[in-house]
């Protein structure tokens, strides 16, 4: 019987073996790829798709909503309010030296210039801002609480020194201090420091904040200085 050479079947076997190896390779690759995505999603969660979506919508990163911190007296808070009522402070650019109205809800047009008015044997070296009892009193500027002082005339008072040391802001006739406020605290424009009251020699029928500004020389004690009219500084934003 003659010997015959193998024909097609061995070739088919070789193809099947090759196909089997390729198929196992594909399965292994798919397995590792799936494992990679499973591990990645376990660590990032849905944030992965959120980040991808944000980046695809624009090349620039999303800006944070944090408000820039006011610096000095060049950029300050100002109350923009209609004549019928006040609103909360908003951070805007103001002329150098401009201040925030230190009583919450009081409009610029409601201020009356009481500086240098005669008061018996003395002159009134401050601005009186009338408001209901308990209305929040806020810091007019950046600064540091120099003194919480109780006096016969001013009642409960607060002295706040400006960051540059050149001014002292004086708040008097308060009903109460803001909870937790202490000497040495750093305050910012719009931060509550007390409430409107009638302490000291204030008229019980007219609760108000007695607000004054003292220009301080390097050797001036904290209770002394040269009085400056607050009205011009508080109304500096009116032109805006």
Give the mean model confidence (pLDDT) for residues 79-101. Answer: 48
- Here the CATH number for the domain that contains residue 133 is 2.70.70.10
Residue 228 and residue 149 share a domain: yes
The verdict on residue 69 lying in a domain is no
pLDDT at residue number 63: 30
pLDDT at residue number 109: 84
Residue 212 and residue 141 share a domain: yes
Contact criterion met (CB below 8 Å) for 194 and 154: no
The verdict on residue 64 lying in a domain is no
Residue 232 and residue 165 share a domain: yes
pLDDT at 113 over 70: yes
Residue 119 and residue 32 share a domain: no
The verdict on residue 125 lying in a domain is yes
Q: What's 108's DSSP letter?
A: G
pLDDT at 23 over 60: no
Could you read off the pLDDT of 30-40 as tens digits, one per residue?
Answer: 555 555 555 55
Residue 152 and residue 97 share a domain: yes
pLDDT at 121 over 50: yes
pLDDT at 15 over 90: no
Q: Which range marks the domain in which residue 50 is found?
A: 8-57
pLDDT band for position 232 (cuts 50, 70, 90): confident
The verdict on residue 188 lying in a domain is yes
Residue 45 and residue 79 share a domain: no
The verdict on residue 63 lying in a domain is no
Joined together, the tokens standing for residue 72 give: 């000095």
H helix runs in the chain, sequence order = 8-44, 47-57, 230-234
Residue 45 and residue 90 share a domain: no
pLDDT band for position 120 (cuts 50, 70, 90): low
pLDDT at 240 over 90: no
Question: Can you point out the beta strands (E) in 152-197?
Answer: 155-161, 167-177, 186-187, 192-196
A 10 A CB-CB count for 126 gives: 25
pLDDT at residue number 68: 30
The verdict on residue 193 lying in a domain is yes
Place of tokens 């919450």: 104
How many structural domains does the chain have?
2
Residue 96 and residue 157 share a domain: yes
pLDDT at residue number 236: 76
Residue 217 and residue 147 share a domain: yes
Could you read off the pLDDT of 178-226 as tens digits, one per residue?
Answer: 999 999 999 999 999 999 999 999 999 999 999 999 999 988 999 889 9
Could you read off the pLDDT of 134-147 as tens digits, one per residue?
Answer: 999 999 999 999 99
pLDDT at residue number 118: 58
Mean pLDDT of the chain: 70
Residue 217 and residue 123 share a domain: yes
- Give the rounded percent of residues in the chain with a pLDDT score beyond 90: 41
Could you read off the pLDDT of 157-178 as tens digits, one per residue?
Answer: 999 999 999 999 999 999 999 9
Give 90 or 197, the one with higher predicted confidence: 197
The verdict on residue 99 lying in a domain is yes
pLDDT at residue number 170: 96
Residue 110 and residue 147 share a domain: yes
pLDDT at residue number 79: 37
The verdict on residue 66 lying in a domain is no
pLDDT at residue number 114: 78
């Amino acid at each position: 019987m003659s010997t015959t050479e193998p024909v097609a079947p061995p070739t088919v076997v070789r193809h099947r073996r090759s196909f089997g190896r390729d198929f196992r390779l594909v399965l292994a690759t798919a397995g590792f790829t799936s494992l990679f995505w499973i591990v990645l999603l376990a660590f990032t969660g849905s944030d992965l798709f959120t980040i991808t979506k944000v980046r695809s919508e624009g090349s620039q990163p999303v800006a944070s909503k944090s408000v820039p911190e006011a610096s000095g007296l060049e950029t300050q808070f100002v109350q923009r309010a209609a004549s019928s009522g006040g609103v909360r402070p908003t951070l805007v650019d103001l002329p150098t030296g401009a201040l925030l109205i230190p009583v919450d809800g009081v409009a610029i047009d409601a201020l009356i210039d009481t500086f240098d008015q005669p008061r018996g044997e003395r002159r009134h070296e401050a601005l009186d801002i009338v408001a209901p009892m308990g209305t929040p009193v806020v810091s007019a500027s950046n600064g540091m609480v120099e003194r919480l002082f109780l006096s016969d005339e001013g009642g409960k008072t607060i002295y706040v020194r400006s960051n540059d040391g050149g001014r002292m802001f004086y708040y008097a006739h308060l009903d109460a201090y803001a909870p937790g406020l202490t000497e040495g605290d750093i305050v910012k424009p719009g931060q509550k420091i007390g409430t409107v009251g009638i302490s000291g020699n204030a008229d019980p029928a007219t609760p108000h904040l007695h607000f004054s500004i003292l220009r301080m020389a390097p050797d001036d004690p904290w209770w002394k200085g040269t009085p400056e009219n607050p009205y011009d500084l508080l109304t500096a934003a009116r032109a805006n």
